[in-house]
C-alpha cells in the first residue's frame, strides 16, 4: 500500500509541477494537471509493454538455446530388456540411466569416448603417387 501511495504522490507532484509551469504561459492549470497525469500513465503503460515484449523475446531465445543444447546432448537408445527405443539425455558429469517407456525397467547407459586421427583424402588414385606420399 505504501508503494502505491508513493507512486501516486510522485505522479501528482510531477503533474502539479508541469501544470504550474504551463499556467505561467496562460494554459489553464487544472487542464494541465489532468493532461500531465494522463500522459504519465500512458507513457508508463507503453514502457511496461515494451519491457514485457523485450523480456518475452529474450526468454524465448533463451528457451531455444536450451532446447538446442538438450537436443545436442540426447540420444535414442534401445532398452537392455525389451529393445524398445527410448529417447534420453546424456550427461558426462553424472550416471546415465533410462526407464523404458515400454517395459518400465531401468537400463544403465555407459558412454565410451574415443579419439581418432583425421584422415586426408588422396589427391591421386595412382598407386605410385600414394606410396610417395606415405614415404614422406
Take residue 21 and report the three cell numbers written for it: 509551469
More confident residue, 130 or 77: 77
88 DSSP β-pair partners: 75
What is the per-residue pLDDT for 122? 65
Distance of CA 42 to the CA centre of its chain: 30
Distance of CA 131 to the CA centre of its chain: 53
What is the per-residue pLDDT for 134? 55
| pLDDT tens-digit readout, 60-106 | 999 999 988 888 888 999 999 999 999 998 888 888 999 999 999 99
Pick from 125, 127, 121, 82: nearest CA to 100 = 82
What is the per-residue pLDDT for 104? 95
What is the per-residue pLDDT for 99? 95
| pLDDT tens-digit readout, 102-120 | 999 999 998 888 898 888 7
What is the per-residue pLDDT for 135? 57
Pick from 109, 115, 136, 133: nearest CA to 123 = 133
Distance of CA 132 to the CA centre of its chain: 53
Compute the radius of gyration of the chain from its Cα atoms. 34
CB 96 within 8 A of CB 108: yes
Q: Report whether pLDDT(20) > 60.
A: yes
CA dist 90 → 64, 107, 111 (Å): 19, 13, 8
Q: CA neighbours within 13 Å on the CB side: how many for 112?
A: 0
CA distance 103 to 53: 45
Reported as a pLDDT band with limits 50, 70 and 90, residue 136 is low
What is the per-residue pLDDT for 62? 96
What is the per-residue pLDDT for 48? 96
| pLDDT tens-digit readout, 43-52 | 999 999 999 9
Q: Report whether pLDDT(123) > 80.
A: no
Amino acid at each position: 500500500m505504501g508503494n502505491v501511495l508513493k507512486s501516486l504522490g510522485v505522479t501528482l507532484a510531477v503533474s502539479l509541477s508541469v501544470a504550474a509551469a504551463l499556467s505561467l504561459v496562460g494554459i489553464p492549470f487544472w487542464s494541465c494537471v489532468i493532461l500531465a497525469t494522463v500522459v504519465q500513465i500512458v507513457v508508463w503503460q507503453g514502457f511496461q509493454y515494451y519491457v514485457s515484449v523485450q523480456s518475452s523475446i529474450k526468454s524465448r531465445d533463451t528457451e531455444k538455446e536450451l532446447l538446442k543444447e538438450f537436443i545436442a546432448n540426447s540420444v535414442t537408445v534401445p532398452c537392455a530388456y525389451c529393445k524398445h527405443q527410448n529417447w534420453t539425455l546424456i550427461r558426462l558429469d553424472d550416471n546415465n540411466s533410462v526407464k523404458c517407456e515400454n517395459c518400465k525397467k531401468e537400463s544403465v547407459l555407459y558412454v565410451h569416448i574415443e579419439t581418432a586421427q583425421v584422415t586426408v583424402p588422396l589427391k591421386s588414385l595412382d598407386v605410385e603417387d600414394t606410396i610417395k606420399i606415405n614415404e614422406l
